[in-house]
């Protein structure tokens, strides 16, 4: 199932807020993304109807297995791409903004290639440090 970029962003935001050891409500998403309350409300309704989230009687939002899978994939892409851009010398703010755009349009094949490059670069960097004794 193809998920729209906006849904991916909402799911990733729910995951990220939850990782901050915080129970997530729609207002938290409004504050985090700067969207209007009605826009977030419509998005949460759509995500609930598509089986990506659950909303309890107190308004707390949790990811379903389906939602967690999508959110985790986007979060992994976001972190890896932004860290990679920073390691290339891009300032943190720009790297995060660019990663937010790139994570949604990049093919799985390209992302896996970048992940592989990052992993091999880290390993070779570790070996270089070992040789230098740092």
Helix (H) or strand (E) holding 134, with range, is none
pLDDT, tens digit (0-9, with 9 covering 90-100), for 79-124 = 999 999 998 999 999 999 999 889 888 889 999 998 898 888 776 5
CA distances from 67 to 42, 47, 52, 63, 110 (A): 16, 8, 4, 5, 23
- Tell me the pLDDT band of 132, cut-offs 50, 70 and 90: very low
Q: What is the CATH T-level fold of the domain 5-69, as seen in this structure?
A: Arc Repressor Mutant, subunit A (1.10.10)
What is the chain's mean pLDDT, rounded? 88
Q: In the chain, where are the structural domains located?
A: 5-69, 76-122
Distance CA 89, CA 83 (A): 10
Nearest 5°: phi and psi at 22?
Answer: -130, 135
In this structure, what DSSP letter does residue 106 have? S
130 pLDDT band (50/70/90 cuts)?
A: very low
Mean pLDDT of 59-74: 95
Q: Which fold has domain 76-122?
A: Diphtheria Toxin Repressor; domain 2 (1.10.60)
Q: What are phi and psi of 30, to 5 degrees?
A: -55, -50
Q: How many CB atoms lie within 10 A of CB 56?
A: 10
């Amino acid at each position: 199932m193809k998920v729209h970029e906006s849904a991916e962003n909402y799911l990733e935001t729910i995951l990220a807020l939850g990782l901050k050891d915080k129970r997530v409500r729609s207002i938290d998403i409004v504050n985090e993304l700067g969207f209007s309350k009605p826009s977030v409300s419509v998005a949460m309704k759509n995500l609930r109807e598509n089986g990506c989230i659950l909303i309890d009687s107190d308004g707390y939002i949790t990811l379903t297995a389906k939602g967690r899978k999508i959110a985790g994939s986007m979060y992994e892409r976001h972190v890896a791409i932004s860290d990679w851009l920073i390691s290339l010398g891009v300032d943190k703010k720009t790297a995060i903004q660019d990663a937010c755009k790139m994570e949604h349009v990049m093919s799985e094949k390209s992302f896996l290639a970048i992940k592989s490059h990052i992993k091999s670069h880290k390993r070779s960097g570790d070996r270089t440090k070992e040789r230098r004794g740092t």
